[in-house]
Amino acid sequence: GLLLLREDFASTSRKTKVSHVFPRHSKSKLPTVVDGQGCCLIDRSGKSYFDGSGGAAVSCLGHGDQEVIAAAKAQLDRIAFAHTSFFTSDPAEQLADRLIDLAPGELDRVYFVSGGSEAMEAALKLARQFFVETGQPQRSRVIARRQSYHGNTLGALAIGGNAWRREPFKPILIDSTHIAPCYEYRGCEDGESSFDYGQRVANELETEILRLGPETVMAFVAEPVVGATMGAVPAVEGYFRRIREICDQYGVLLILDEVMCGMGRTGTLFACEQDGIAPDIMTIAKGLGAGYQPIGAMLCTSAIYDAIASGSGFFQHGHTYIGHATAAAVGNAVLSRLVDDGLVSACAVMGEKLQAALEDRFGQHPHVGDIRGRGLFRGLELVADRETKAPFDPALRLNAKVKAAAFDAGLACYPMGGTIDGVKGDHVLLAPPFIMTDEQVTEVVDKLEIALNKAI
Ligand code: PLP
């Protein structure tokens, strides 16, 4: 009897099986991914999807990269992990050396973490500790930009520009304010050159620093090319040079968040190279592990590092998995694919082809207002009216419809949108793997066209 009952229980619980994985949304019913090769993801039913946004700009090498897999396996065979309060490791040392060799400006030290939000937390804490230890403890405020995303931990959330994300968690610790993003499509006025526009919005930083009192401001934070919240929006020529000047003039640290746009995504290893500036602190993640391991990093200048090294001597921070040997081994293999095997250059070339194909297909589309981006980081802004740039009513949830229609057509891409912080717009973000071929450029554009026709 007991046996029967157990069997009944087992079979019932199997029949009524629920997923015990905490879902992103309680109503979501997701297919199970079982395989991935190159630019494609395959679910349990055998359906194949083109990985049009690399997750969220993660899978820069696509899936099944044998060199990266071999590097991970070799490291697992030697030593998977040892805690950094006891040991450093060859892969972590090697990856830090390489990143510093390749990084712009005076960046000189690397602090490894497991993802983008952790990298941003480390950046904010490091900036704060720097000022505390250099006799300017009143510098605690952060200025960021509206419609930005810097992560979901409390510190990163505090500075992010989407107020709605912060709202349920208030009061939040860090004192931050926000200026306008550099958003040429909507911000540039009639008759204004894009350079003048860039200078005008960059100067908002100076106004805000003066309003707050320069002696209270610790850092300005920005993504060189804005990803998830705006859909691959680069700044205009001259904007970041003016931002750099203002930060220098007022002793404010410049933190660049390259979590999404870094690691080759824009056609150069770091996006800020194309803006001709270097930050005091830079964060990277996503493409650094390319999805093969969770790894991120915060890079800082020796001026910041040395101040703390000769002050208290230690950065008051740390996580169990910092400097994880297997993650670092993957980072090294990814970097070698990106740089030594020429995949960053491939990204630049394929990015231009993707832009041309998008313009060709959607350049006159009545509901595509703007096609923009750099490298294989491209965005389309969807509008109700091309002439007036009037956005769609957010209640239509157009982004969700486009995402579903694209997924149906076998394209996984990242539409976001609605009215966010007063800046309106639905967009589609494309961030495919750098190994994509010419045929796959056409495939993405074809599938996107099917999705837009169905959703709008
Ligand atoms: N910063 C930017 C620009 C991002 O796009 C993201 C994630 O999308 C983050 C930070 C947070 O990274 P993670 O999700 O790895 O914590």
- Residue 3: its pLDDT value, please? 47
Average pLDDT, the chain: 93
Least confident of 55-69, 153-167, 387-401, 441-455: 153-167
Distance from Cα 190 to the centre of ligand 1, integer Å = 34
Q: pLDDT tier at 319 (50, 70, 90 boundaries)?
A: very high
The answer to whether residues 54 and 305 touch, using CB atoms and an 8 Å cutoff, is no
- Residue 14: its pLDDT value, please? 52
Residue 13 has pLDDT above 60, yes or no: no
Q: pLDDT tier at 10 (50, 70, 90 boundaries)?
A: very low
Q: Nearest Cα to 430, choosing from 56, 17, 20?
A: 56
pLDDT digits (tens, 9 = 90+) for 97-156: 999 999 999 999 999 999 999 999 999 999 999 999 999 999 999 999 998 999 999 888
Q: Nearest Cα to 95, choosing from 347, 327, 342?
A: 327
Nearest ligand 1 atom, CA 151: 11
SS3 of residue 13 by DSSP: helix
Q: Nearest Cα to 297, choosing from 274, 270, 273, 275?
A: 270
- Residue 170: its pLDDT value, please? 72
- Residue 265: its pLDDT value, please? 98
66 compared with 393, residue with greater pLDDT:
66
| 177 and 310 housed in the same domain | yes
The answer as to whether 298 is a domain residue is: yes
Residue at which a domain ends, from 340, 368, 401: 340
| 282 and 396 housed in the same domain | no
Residue at which a domain ends, from 287, 312, 340: 340
The answer as to whether 80 is a domain residue is: yes
Compute the Cα dihedral for 179, 185, 191, 192 and give only its sign.
Answer: positive
| 353 and 328 housed in the same domain | no
| 130 and 104 housed in the same domain | yes
The answer as to whether 16 is a domain residue is: no
- Residue 394: its pLDDT value, please? 84
From CA 112, how far away is CA 104, in angstroms rounded?
18
Residue closest via CA to ligand 1's atom 15 equals: 116
For the Cβ of 375 lying below 6 angstroms from any atom of ligand 1, the answer is no
Residue closest via CA to ligand 1's atom 13 equals: 116
The most distant pair of C-alpha atoms in the chain lies apart, rounded to whole Å, by 85
Distance from Cα 227 to the centre of ligand 1, integer Å = 9
From CA 239, how far away is CA 225, in angstroms rounded?
12
Q: Nearest Cα to 235, choosing from 292, 173, 181?
A: 181
| 124 and 217 housed in the same domain | yes
- Residue 87: its pLDDT value, please? 97
Can you give the CATH number for the domain in which 45 is found? Answer: 3.90.1150.10
- Residue 303: its pLDDT value, please? 97
Distance from Cα 423 to the centre of ligand 1, integer Å = 21
Ligand 1, pocket-test mutation among 53, 113, 117, 321, most atoms within 8 A of CB: 117
For the Cβ of 116 lying below 6 angstroms from any atom of ligand 1, the answer is yes
Mean pLDDT over 77-91 rounds to: 97
Q: How many domains does the chain have?
A: 2
- Residue 12: its pLDDT value, please? 47
The answer as to whether 17 is a domain residue is: no
| 52 and 82 housed in the same domain | no
- Residue 183: its pLDDT value, please? 93
Structure tokens at 455: 């959703």
| 252 and 149 housed in the same domain | yes
| 314 and 389 housed in the same domain | no
The answer to whether residues 416 and 401 touch, using CB atoms and an 8 Å cutoff, is no
Give residue 444's identity as a one-letter amino acid code. Answer: V
The answer to whether residues 347 and 376 touch, using CB atoms and an 8 Å cutoff, is yes
What are the angstrom distances between the C-alpha of 26 and each of 21, 415, 451?
A: 10, 19, 25
Q: pLDDT tier at 2 (50, 70, 90 boundaries)?
A: very low
Mean pLDDT over 433-454 rounds to: 98
The answer as to whether 250 is a domain residue is: yes
| 55 and 159 housed in the same domain | no
- Residue 4: its pLDDT value, please? 47
Residue closest via CA to ligand 1's atom 14 equals: 116
pLDDT digits (tens, 9 = 90+) for 363-395: 999 999 999 999 999 999 999 999 999 999 888
For the Cβ of 117 lying below 6 angstroms from any atom of ligand 1, the answer is yes
The answer as to whether 14 is a domain residue is: no
Q: How many CB atoms lie within 10 A of CB 291?
A: 22
Distance from Cα 124 to the centre of ligand 1, integer Å = 14
Distance from Cα 259 to the centre of ligand 1, integer Å = 6
Domain that holds residue 360: 22-64+343-455
- Residue 165: its pLDDT value, please? 78
For the Cβ of 224 lying below 6 angstroms from any atom of ligand 1, the answer is no
3 compared with 432, residue with greater pLDDT:
432
What are the angstrom distances between the C-alpha of 119 and each of 93, 124, 152, 285?
A: 18, 9, 11, 8
- Residue 15: its pLDDT value, please? 53
For the Cβ of 260 lying below 6 angstroms from any atom of ligand 1, the answer is yes
- Residue 1: its pLDDT value, please? 35
Ligand 1, pocket-test mutation among 118, 124, 149, 321, most atoms within 8 A of CB: 149
Strand bridging mode 40-43 / 48-51: antiparallel
Residue 181 has pLDDT above 90, yes or no: yes
The answer to whether residues 31 and 412 touch, using CB atoms and an 8 Å cutoff, is no
For the Cβ of 150 lying below 6 angstroms from any atom of ligand 1, the answer is yes
Half-sphere exposure of residue 52: CA atoms within 13 angstroms, side-chain side: 29
| 252 and 385 housed in the same domain | no
Q: pLDDT tier at 160 (50, 70, 90 boundaries)?
A: confident
DSSP secondary structure letter of residue 321: T
Mean pLDDT over 54-70 rounds to: 97
From CA 90, how far away is CA 330, in angstroms rounded?
12
Strand bridging mode 281-284 / 368-374: unpaired
Least confident of 5-14, 172-181, 222-231: 5-14
Mean pLDDT over 404-426 rounds to: 82
For the Cβ of 147 lying below 6 angstroms from any atom of ligand 1, the answer is no
- Residue 423: its pLDDT value, please? 60
Distance from Cα 182 to the centre of ligand 1, integer Å = 19
| 159 and 225 housed in the same domain | yes
- Residue 424: its pLDDT value, please? 67
pLDDT digits (tens, 9 = 90+) for 214-241: 999 999 999 999 999 999 999 999 999 9
Residue 5 has pLDDT above 60, yes or no: no
Compute the Cα dihedral for 42, 47, 51, 53 and give only its sign.
Answer: negative
The answer as to whether 403 is a domain residue is: yes
From CA 69, how far away is CA 80, in angstroms rounded?
14
Half-sphere exposure of residue 343: CA atoms within 13 angstroms, side-chain side: 22
| 95 and 37 housed in the same domain | no
Residue at which a domain ends, from 321, 340, 359: 340
Can you give the CATH number for the domain in which 274 is found? Answer: 3.40.640.10
- Residue 421: its pLDDT value, please? 54
Q: pLDDT tier at 290 (50, 70, 90 boundaries)?
A: very high
Residue 338 has pLDDT above 60, yes or no: yes
The answer as to whether 1 is a domain residue is: no
Residues comprising the chain, all counted: 456
